[in-house]
Structures are given as structure tokens and as C-alpha cells.
Structure 1
């Protein structure tokens, strides 16, 4: 079957007077969803998710072209050209991330080769991501997400909706779910089963997980999940480093890229050793493709930060995006004897009055700890990546100081 069969035919792209800021935000959101869907398609061997990745990749191609056109129209003098050059780099890097996600999806669609028992080897803590179509008579149709209240009642989150060719990324409480929408949901298996049945009118039938036929497959799948999480974090920090002109965040993107490279090298070594004992070594070929695509994503994240490292003044169009941002990402180091030193973390929140949510910790002796992967207590010397409002970020920084 042609994996592109469901794709809309190519159409000419004409210049539209669209905000560069809006294009950048849309490309960022699209890139993050692409990474999530692509890896989930591989881990669950899900062809429907893989086809949605190709749809999103096509969308990103159009966004990239519109971004290029808008940037060309915005450059009126040499100073504009200098300030906009890094923005063009962001646009190009986002397209590279999109292409890499498409390559990951094609591992599934073109049957390049994957172990049969990928899903069986998933860690229990990893949530399931599914794609379902909203039935005409679904109890969810015509209601807002706030009214449905899925996350509170089931633990399931709708992370995106596709309505025909229109994508609704990061839907908010007032977003309505309509009949025939394609919903992308993430959550625990028990909650997913309940929500899918209500949404589609049919019982949810998860794929039957095959028995692992490779030694240490669980460790390999753990590595894939870790690479996915690190790649998502790198892209998020890269955009934030540009939006907030932060050398510290840009530096952490480089640290992440180094760790992804090391992880990719170890992952390839495992795949080659496993091939010696595998009943069908060709079934491991897709894992090599996966590790290469992961490296491309982390390299593209570094490319996004180039303007920050070259100390090129942020163009006003980027400043506009910052001003409209309710949340910021900040980087800080925990000082010995500070209020954060020794504090425990539960669900990403430290045991303090702060409302900042910790995304990740870089610990000198352990490398990166993604808060979603493990409970932890903060230590002096930890470098924290946290998200919250500007006011809470300032107060959080005070807590990290002795």
C-alpha cells in the first residue's frame, strides 16, 4: 500500500499577508506534535498514526514556504536582513525536524523493519497515544473540552484535533469537539479504553502484543522513549532560547544534543549486537533509521539557537511573540543551602509555594532526568528547566539562591 495514498495532492502556495510570528508559533506546535506522533507510531506499530505524521509533514512544508515568503517581504534593509537571518534558520530547522519525523513514520509504513514485540516492551509508565474518529452520535460531539472534563475524570488528554484539513493544536478548554473530528489522545490504557468507546461507539481493541523474541528489547525500547523525550525537550528549549533570547537555554540545547548523540551511538551498538542473535536481523533495520532521525532532530534544535549564540539582536517579530506568551521557560541552578536544595518533586512540582513546573533536571553525575520519568529530590548543583508565568519564574529563581 502506498503510504502517501491518503495525502492531499500538492497544491500551489501563493503569498498571503500572514504574520511571521503566527507562522513561527504554528511551526513550533506542529514540530512538537510531529515528534510525538512519529515515535508513538513506531512504539505502537500504528499505521494510522504514521499516516497522520505524513499529513502534518505536508502541512509543515506549506508553513515553511509561507514563512520564507513572509520573511522576504519583511526584509526592507540590511539591518532587517541581519536580524531576520536567524529567523529563516528557525524556519528551515523546523522543516528538517518535520522531514525526520516523516522518516520515522515511514519505518512503519514502508515496513523497513521493526521487532514485532515493541509494544509489549513498553515501560508501564508510558502513556498510550491513540487516534480515533468522533462518531456522529458520540456523547462528546458538540461539547467543549471544559464541559467534557476528560482529563480530570479519566486521565486522558486530547492533544490535537484534525477537522478535515484543518488542525487544532493544543486545544484549550473552550475548544469544541465535533462529529467526524479526528482526535489524538494520550493517557493510561484504562482511561483510553473508556474514552475511545464513548467517542466512537465501539469497544476499543488495543493491538495484541507479541512475545519479545530479542534479548534486552525492553532496554532498547527504554532508549527509544528516552530519545523521544530528549528530542522533544531540545526542540522546546531551542524555541524558548530564541523567544526569550536566553544564552542559558541555548547552552542546554547543546548539552542535550551531546547526550542524544551518545545515546544514538549506544543504541546503534545494541542493534548491531542484537542482530547477531535475532531470528531475522532485517527486522532491526528500522531501529537504525530511528536513531539517525533522532540525531537529525537534535541537530536541528541546535540550528534553531544559532542566532542566540551569534548574539544577533532579536527581531521585533520575535519580541512580539514573547510579549504575547503567558508562560516562559527558565533555566537556573540550585545553590547549596537554598530553599530548593533537598526539596522533593511530585508531578513536576517542588514541595514549595512556587507554581513553577519543573520539566527536566540536569545533574552533573547522572545527566538528564526528565521529571515525567522519575520521582526525584532536588540537589545542590542541579540545573533545572522549569515552566511557568513570569512572576512565578522570578520568585522561583529566588528560591534557588542561598
Structure 2
């Protein structure tokens, strides 16, 4: 579709918002995957999806303009426009990251080795004809439940399936994007492709300032993705507490970028070709834009504007749902750590925040985080996984 030929047509804003949210999240994964593997093919897919996002945002804006007939309508719809604009910003940032690969701007090898150290890794592989998964639905092979690894997208005959569900079957020669921890993803990749998993080897660097710069970008990436998740959560639950955490994360990303710039400038005098650091600068700038977009998503909540039902419905019906689950006194999770019960593997849900009974927040909890009766978990994953998490937590 030529994005220049978009005309108004009646479309459901909710449906468009669902696709925009799913596409924006996929774009982030694809863009960093392109950098990790130095893949022109994946980077090109990012730019194609970015064009699709341009069409979606125009459709959403036209529909919202048609719906506004009074000052009250304008007040209610303004935060929706913010969500639309934020998704577009994320798309543009992903496109900038992809161009680092397509335009051969380049990044230090230490960057490619460090990206898998992020919270989760994304790898790309092709389904082998003799794979145990070929011809099997994602639900039938219990991939996510058994391994904690999720298929986030499938490329088949030139088209992307951006929201595969448990009924989606894998076929021989499908190109799949797998997302999971570095430890879990290797065996799944080998079963899917029939090839040995070969993660980027650690690269020893003799330049401490460059290492610090690379570590900063990885942390910025993790924080920005978490900020987007929490921003959608703040909208879904109309929670100023969650929105306040987005503000904190965005400020921390800004601070990290400032320190990153100082380390890059110091490292530039110690590398043979300072121009080779341009890719790092592009990555940092694009990653900061993603955290800024997260803040825009939650801005309506922060300003006390009621969440429009269409936004909450879109978040609920998107590819990955965000849920709030209470920990009951009789739940298996009560006074246990997330790692003790292998929550991610057992449920397929990623706990992105915990609100303590006293009102304090634990953002990006790890396996060692202990939860107690009265705590509230904010988690992201599939609908089936949400039910399993509720059972585990003893949520009424």
C-alpha cells in the first residue's frame, strides 16, 4: 500500500489502536534484532512495518477528528491522540535503529555481544522441515508454557503474522522471531531450526569508557521497553501510581543518555576510528525517543484525564495483555519468590512491577523478588497465561 493514497474510511479506532500497539512492540524487537544479527533483511522489514504504521496513525487521527463534536469530546479524545502519536514515535525510532544496519553506520562488536544481556533476547530462525514444531500449533506444543520462550512473529510467504496465538501452527520454512531469556532460548532455537544456537561471543574490550557506553545503551533499552509496558498499564488501570513510575523511568533514561554521551566522547580519543561510534549515538538517541513516547502514553493519566474506554479496550485486546493480579494469603505465591515458582516458565507471564501492600512499587522485579499477601502484580503475557498467574497467586 502506498501511504500517500490514504483516504478516510470508517474504521474502528479500537481495532486500529490494537494493531498500532502490537506493531510498535514488534518494531522494537525487530529493530534490535537487526542490530544484534547485522541483518539487512530484518532491518528492511522494520521499514516496511514503519510504513504500515504511518497508514494506521492517519486512519486513527481521521476517525478521532470525525468523532469530536464538542469540547467534552475533545477533552476525552485528546489522550487518545497522545497514544496514537506515541506509537508513531516508537515506530520512527525503530526505523532509525534499523537504518544503523541498512546504512552500514556500524556499531562496535561489543554492542552486538551486549544486547543479549538485556532482560530478554530476540532471535530469528527458520523452521526446519523435520523440526518437532513443524505442523504443530503453538498451543499444541506448549512452547511458551514449557520453555518460557514465545513466538512473537512469523514471516510466511513474504507476510508477517504479528500476533500468533495458541491456534497458530508453525509450518516448514516459516521464519520465526523467538523471544526469551538467553538461557532458555538456545534449546528452543535448536529444536526449531535444527542448527546449533550461536549467540554473539563476548568481546573483550580494552577501553573501559566504551564498555560503559555500551552497558548504558543496554540499560536504556530495558528501561524504555519497561516504560512502554508500564505506560499502557497505567492507561488500562487508570493508575497514577504506575504512571509516576513511567516518569521516573523516563528521567533515568535521560540521565543515562547524558552519561553515555560523556563516555562516548572520552572513548573517541582511544579508538582507531572514532566515526565507528556513530552507530552507538544513533541507538542511544532512538532509545531515548522510545522512553519519551512512553511518557506521552501515560500523560492523560498523569494530568487527571479519564482514560477513554477505547484505549483501555485496545490494550486489553492486543496481542499481549497487561493484567493486575492480587496475591492471596492462600496462593502458592504468597511469601515466595518469583524464581522459586518459576513464574515466567510456569505461566508465560512476565511480571513487570509489584505494588506492595503499603503502596511502594518494585519495578522490573527479578527471580529473587519475594511477593507477599496483599501485593499486586502487574504482568504482561497471553490471556491463557494471565489465568495461570491468577491461579498461582490465589487471586479471587
Q: TM-score, normalised by structure 1?
A: 0.77
Query: What's 1:291 paired with?
Result: 284
Query: What's 1:97 paired with?
Result: 90
Query: What's 2:296 paired with?
Result: 303
1:272 correspondence with 2:265: yes
TM-superposition CA deviations, 1:185-220 (whole Å, max 9, x none): 124667656555554566666667665464355443
Query: What's 2:330 paired with?
Result: none
Query: What's 2:217 paired with?
Result: 224
- Cα distance in 2 for partners of 1:331, 1:265 equals 36
- Cα distance in 2 for partners of 1:73, 1:293 equals 32
Aligned-pair CA distance for 1:165: 6.0
TM-superposition CA deviations, 1:242-279 (whole Å, max 9, x none): 23222222211111111110111111111111111112
Equivalent in 41, 48, 53 of residue 34 of structure 2: 41
Task: Choose 292-301 or 147-156, whichever is displaced more.
Answer: 147-156
CA contact (8 A) 2:352 2:363 kept: no
Aligned-pair CA distance for 1:315: 2.9
Aligned-pair CA distance for 1:58: 1.7
CA contact (8 A) 2:79 2:300 kept: yes
Aligned-pair CA distance for 1:175: 1.5
- Cα distance in 2 for partners of 1:193, 1:104 equals 25
Give the 3 Å change call, closer, same or farther, for CA 397–27 of structure 1 in structure 2: same
Equivalent in 356, 370, 391 of residue 364 of structure 2: 370
Query: What's 1:337 paired with?
Result: none
Give the 3 Å change call, closer, same or farther, for CA 357–397 of structure 1 in structure 2: farther
CA contact (8 A) 2:118 2:219 kept: no
- Cα distance in 2 for partners of 1:279, 1:195 equals 39
Query: What's 1:177 paired with?
Result: 170
Query: What SS does the corresponding residue of 1:147 show, helix, strand or coil?
Result: coil
- Cα distance in 2 for partners of 1:73, 1:253 equals 31
Query: What SS does the corresponding residue of 2:164 show, helix, strand or coil?
Result: coil
- Cα distance in 2 for partners of 1:176, 1:120 equals 32
CA contact (8 A) 2:3 2:54 kept: no
- Cα distance in 2 for partners of 1:153, 1:327 equals 20
- Cα distance in 2 for partners of 1:17, 1:267 equals 46
Q: How many residues align?
A: 379
Aligned-pair CA distance for 1:134: 3.8
Query: What's 1:243 paired with?
Result: 236
Equivalent in 121, 131, 156 of residue 124 of structure 2: 131
Aligned-pair CA distance for 1:312: 2.6
- Cα distance in 2 for partners of 1:183, 1:356 equals 20
CA contact (8 A) 2:116 2:182 kept: no
Give the 3 Å change call, closer, same or farther, for CA 188–308 of structure 1 in structure 2: closer
TM-superposition CA deviations, 1:353-379 (whole Å, max 9, x none): xx996314699xxx976335x634579
Query: What SS does the corresponding residue of 1:177 show, helix, strand or coil?
Result: coil
Aligned-pair CA distance for 1:234: 1.0
- Cα distance in 2 for partners of 1:44, 1:184 equals 12
Aligned-pair CA distance for 1:160: 1.4
Task: Choose 110-119 or 79-88, whichever is displaced more.
Answer: 110-119
CA contact (8 A) 2:83 2:296 kept: yes
Task: Choose 166-175 or 318-327, whichever is displaced more.
Answer: 318-327
The alignment yields a C-alpha RMSD, in angstroms, of 4.2
Give the 3 Å change call, closer, same or farther, for CA 291–368 of structure 1 in structure 2: farther
CA contact (8 A) 1:45 1:118 kept: no
What 5-or-longer segments of structure 2 have no aligned partner? 327-332, 381-385
- Cα distance in 2 for partners of 1:260, 1:193 equals 30
Equivalent in 158, 162, 171 of residue 155 of structure 2: 162
CA contact (8 A) 2:324 2:376 kept: no
1:346 correspondence with 2:339: yes
What 5-or-longer segments of structure 1 have no aligned partner? 1-7, 333-339
1:117 correspondence with 2:110: yes
- Cα distance in 1 for partners of 2:3, 2:315 equals 33
1:255 correspondence with 2:248: yes
- Cα distance in 1 for partners of 2:280, 2:57 equals 28
1:27 correspondence with 2:20: yes
Query: What's 2:383 paired with?
Result: none
Give the 3 Å change call, closer, same or farther, for CA 33–347 of structure 1 in structure 2: farther
TM-superposition CA deviations, 1:275-300 (whole Å, max 9, x none): 11112111111111111112211111
TM-superposition CA deviations, 1:161-195 (whole Å, max 9, x none): 23356543342221122345331112466765655
Query: What SS does the corresponding residue of 2:269 show, helix, strand or coil?
Result: helix
